[in-house]
Amino acid sequence: MHRMEKIIPCVLMRGGTSRGPFFLGDWLPSDPAERDRLLLTVMGSPHALQVDGLGGGNSLTSKVAIVSRSTRPDCDIDYLFAQVSVERACVDTRPNCGNMLSGAAPFAIDEGLVQAKNGETSVRVHNVNTGAVIEAVVQTPGGRLTYEGDARIDGVPGTAAPVRLNFLDAWGAVTGSLFPTGRRQETVDGMAATLIDAAMPMVLLRAADFGLRGDESPAELDADVALLACLERIRRVAGARMGLGDVSDSVIPKPALLAPGADPSGLSLRSRYFTPHSCHRAHAATGAVGVAGAFLMPGTVAHDCGGPAPQPGHRGVRIEHPSGAMEIHVKLNPDSGEVQAAGLVRTARKIMKGLLYVPERYALAQREPVAAVA
C-alpha cells in the first residue's frame, strides 16, 4: 500500500517558559500557506488537548521556531516564530516570542549554522516576524555548546546555562513607532491605556481600574468571563489604532494588567500578561521588556504604578508574574527619554531530536486551504 505520510526532522526544545518544535527552514515547505497547514497538523490543532500532535493544550506549549542562515549581512541567523492556535485552525506569525527566541541560537549552533567560540558565542538574530535584531549570548566552554549551568528562571524547574538576550532595535519594530498613536496614555473603551510597541505590541492597563489587585492567579482571571470579554474589546480597538488592522484573528497586541510591585526597592512592577485570550502562567520575555521600558517612561500607565523619576543609563526593573519574577535591564536614551536597549537572561534545553511523521490526511488536506475556525 502506498504511504503518503511526510517525514521531517524535528528538534523539541524548551525556550524560557515555553516549549515547542524547532525546524531548519529547509525542513519545511517554502510556501507559507502549505507550511502553516503542516504546522497545524504537527501541533495537533485545532483540538483542546492537541492530543494528536506535539502541542500541550496551552498557548505556551503550542509554539514553533523556524531558523535559517540569515538573509541579512549584519546577522547570523533568521528566526521566524509561529504561534499555533490550540482550538482554531490559525497560525500567527505576526508576533515575536522572546522565550522561544532563547532556544534559537543554541539550536543554530547545534545544527551547524553558527560556529561556536571558546567561552561564549554571540549570535546576532534577525527576527523575521518584526524585523528586529537581538543579540543572543550562549555558553560555549571549550568551543562546545552546553545546556548545563547554574542559571535559574522562575517558572522553570532546576537550573541551566544562561542565554543572555539583548534587544537592540525592537522599538517600534512592528508598527514603526514606540508609541504608535503618538500618545503615552489614552482612553480605550473607557479605560486608561498605553499602546506601546516595544519588543511586542501591547495594551498596558491598570489592574485597579478593573477592580483587581494585580496579584490574582491566572486561573482566577481566566474564570472571569466578563473581564476577558472586556480585554478583547479593548485589544481590538487598540489594534486598529496601532495600525494593525483587524486583530480578531491575531495574537497581537497583547493586553497586560499592571499594579505596583511588592519589591521594597521600588523598581518593581506586578504584571498579568494575556496571550491574549488567557493569562500567561509566567510572563512573555518580549512582553516583560516592553512593560519594564514603559515603567521607566513618565506618562505611561505602567509608570503610574510607581515608576521612578527619569534617569539616563541602565536601570534594573523587576517584573513580578504568577510564577515568580524576572529582572529586565533597560537603558533609556538620554535625549528622548525613550527605551534605547533592554536585556534579560533566559535558559533553554534541548529535549529531543528525531523524525516527525505527518499523517496521510495532511497530504490530502493540501488539496484544500485550511480556513480559520471562528
Q: What is the pLDDT of residues 338-355, one digit of tens each?
A: 888 899 999 999 999 999
User: What is the pLDDT of the chain when averaged over all its residues?
Assistant: 92
CB within 8 A of 79, min separation 6: which ones? 65, 66, 67, 101, 104, 125, 126, 127, 128
Q: Which residues in the chain are classed under CATH 3.10.310.10?
A: 6-170+349-365, 186-337
Rounded CA separation 116/143 (Å): 5
What's the burial of 308, exposed, middle or buried (CB within 10 Å: 0-12/13-18/19+)?
A: middle
For residue 367, is pLDDT > 50?
no
Judge: domain 6-170+349-365, CATH 3.10.310.10.
Answer: yes
DSSP structure class, residue 169: S
The set of cell numbers assigned to 307 is: 515608576
- Strands 18-24 and 63-69, by their bridges, are parallel
3-state secondary structure of 99: helix
Residues 126-178: tens digit of each pLDDT: 999 989 899 999 999 999 999 999 999 998 999 999 999 999 888 898 999 99
pLDDT at position 341, please?
85
Tell me: pLDDT of 1 over 50. no
Please give the pLDDT value at position 179: 96
For 5-22, write each residue's pLDDT tens digit.
Answer: 889 999 999 999 999 999
> Using one digit for the tens of pLDDT, what is the confidence trace for 21-35?
999 999 999 999 999
Pick the CATH number of 186-337 from 1.10.3080.10, 3.40.50.2300, 3.10.20.70, 3.10.310.10: 3.10.310.10
Is-contact 205 254, C-beta < 8 A? no
The rounded distance, in Å, linking the Cα atoms of 96 and 94 is 7
Under 8 Å between Cβ of 200 and 252: yes
Please give the model's pTM, rounded to 2 decimal places: 0.80
